[in-house]
Amino acid sequence: MLSLKPQYWYDTIYDIDFDKLKEKGVKCILFDIDNTMATYSENDPSEKLLALCETLRSKDFTLAILSNGNSDRVKHFATVMEMKFYGKALKPMKKGFRSLCDELGFSKNDIAIVGDQLFTDILGGNNFGCISVLVTPIEPSSDPAFVKFKRIFEKGTIRKLKKTEK
């Protein structure tokens, strides 16, 4: 049975214990963009985000973007951030995960996905077999209508998952 439960939960990408991920064997981190690294309205990565990426590279992580978003936006972020990318990934399907792993030379055991949505990022990562990290969406009010609709179901699921942790 497919799981919606992330292995790790954090408020933001800046709160993630990347050393713990490294201890778990993670060598490559796949990031979602929208409401994970940046709001939908941000056209460029922030200085804070660029600094985080430099810190992670200094810890020998390979970084990439896996997004269901518009490929032009994904390509722009990836170019500025000097990352490989896969846009219009159709998460939770495995294809984007598999393509990036193959391109970067990693197995699913080397990968962590970081995202803000249970039904795309976390379900996709768990389905693929990599570590999944859920972060709180940066600005959910900026979500497109179809994402706001998904979040209605996500809220109830998150409440249930958090109860099982206690």
Return the pLDDT at 46: 96
Which CA distances in Å does 12 have to 42, 77, 79? 16, 18, 22
Banded model confidence at residue 91, pLDDT cuts 50, 70, 90: very high
Handedness of CA 166, 113, 81, 43 (dihedral sign): negative
Domain residue spans of the chain? 8-165
Query: Which pTM was predicted?
Result: 0.88
Task: Calculate mean pLDDT across residues 21-35.
Answer: 96
Which neighbouring-strand residues pair with 30?
A: 64, 113
- When the candidates are 1.10.15.40, 3.40.50.11900, 3.40.50.1000, 3.90.1530.10, the CATH number that belongs to 8-165 is 3.40.50.1000
pLDDT digits (tens, 9 = 90+) for 109-154: 999 999 999 989 999 999 999 999 999 998 777 766 777 767 666 7
